[in-house]
Amino acid sequence: MLGVLDAAAKTTYTYWTFNGKVPGPMLRARVGDTIEITLKNAKSSAMIHNVDLHAVWGQGGGAAATNVAPGEEKSFVFKALNPGLYVYHCATPVIPQHISSGMYGLILIEPEGGLPKVDKEFYVMQGDMYADGAGAEKEFNLDKMLAEQPTHVVMNGSAAALAGNPMKAKVGDDIRIFFGVGGPNLTSAFHAIGTIWDKVYPEGALSEKDVHRNVQTTVVPPGGATMVEFKARVPAKYILVDHALGRLMKGNVAIIVAEGAPVPDVFREGKLK
């Protein structure tokens, strides 16, 4: 599917996707659930695909059961045994090309009793892309991928996608971000400019005893995820980045706008009187 790679530069890229979006749909279930996964490959598709879900016990995380040629459909059933936030991705060779081109997403297996309620939940994934060529329509470059020299580092599939079209919240909201890294290559130093993560659920471990508090930056590897929470204490544009900030220049930014009245007790311009 031809999509916008960088709106400002007016470039496009032929994405490979789950359900037409990058990342693919966020799947949500609870520990103990029995889940049926069906992968259907469009007739118009150019190649075989499958899906490996990191939440699955079984061959290839389901990849072996879901190799589908164009026009085919296959299913499998699994029981969710471990709570957590997990990446899924296509695992068809050349695997990193399928991932880089957009075939990744998150599956949340909620713990017993479910996650506590918050005011806002957002779904953000980082990926590195190797999109080359002189024209406006860029193509995957295998050499750049092997050298781990991405042309673009993206949040939700395109350069600055979530900057031009920010996520919205209100002052006082409790915000939860499901953050994953599709990769295929780069590890993210996940950070928000203008706030502190009140809670980080490191590596997507969801029990309260695993929580780290008051964190500035958390490490999320390719094929890994984290859940972070913070209260929007002041009105601001909270800017999500990989703090390896060279990547900001390659499109790696997303914004949460929190609107509301100023809270001068917490932040104000000027001097103490």
| Cα 221 to Cα 68: distance, rounded to the nearest angstrom | 28
Please name the residue that has the structure tokens 């997990």: 86
- Least separation in angstroms between CB 51 and Cu ion: 8
The footprint of Cu ion on residues 169-228 (CB under 5 A) is none
**8 A C-beta contact, residue 92 and residue 64:** no
Nearer to Cu ion, 17 or 252 (CB): 17
| From 86-94, 113-121, 153-161, 217-225, span contacting Cu ion (CB under 5 A) | 86-94
83-91, 126-134, 137-145, 259-267 -> range binding Cu ion (CB under 5 A): 83-91
Helical spans, DSSP H, in the chain: 95-100, 142-146, 161-164
Residues 49, 54, 176, 233: which binds Cu ion (CB under 5 A)?
Answer: 49
- Which span sits near Cu ion by CB under 5 A: 74-82, 95-103, 129-137, 253-261? 95-103
Output the CA–CA distances (angstroms, integers) from residue 190 to 4, 56, 240, in the order listed.
24, 26, 7
Rounded to the nearest angstrom, the gap between the alpha carbon of residue 54 and the centroid of all alpha carbons in its chain is: 14
Closest CB to Cu ion belongs to which residue?
A: 90
Buried b or exposed e, range 94-115, using 16+ CB within 10 angstroms: ebbbbbbbbbbbbbbbbbeeeb
| Shortest Å, Cβ 16 to Cu ion | 5
Q: Which member of 63, 103, 225, 254 binds Cu ion (CB under 5 A)?
A: 103
Question: Which member of 41, 65, 78, 98 binds Cu ion (CB under 5 A)?
Answer: 98
The binder of Cu ion chosen from 17, 41, 66, 92 (CB under 5 A): 92
- Measured CA distances, 22 to 3, 39, 89, 171, 239 (Å): 10, 16, 11, 28, 20
Interaction between residue 91 and Cu ion (CB under 5 A): no
Which residues bind to Cu ion, rule: CB under 5 A?
49, 90, 92, 98, 103
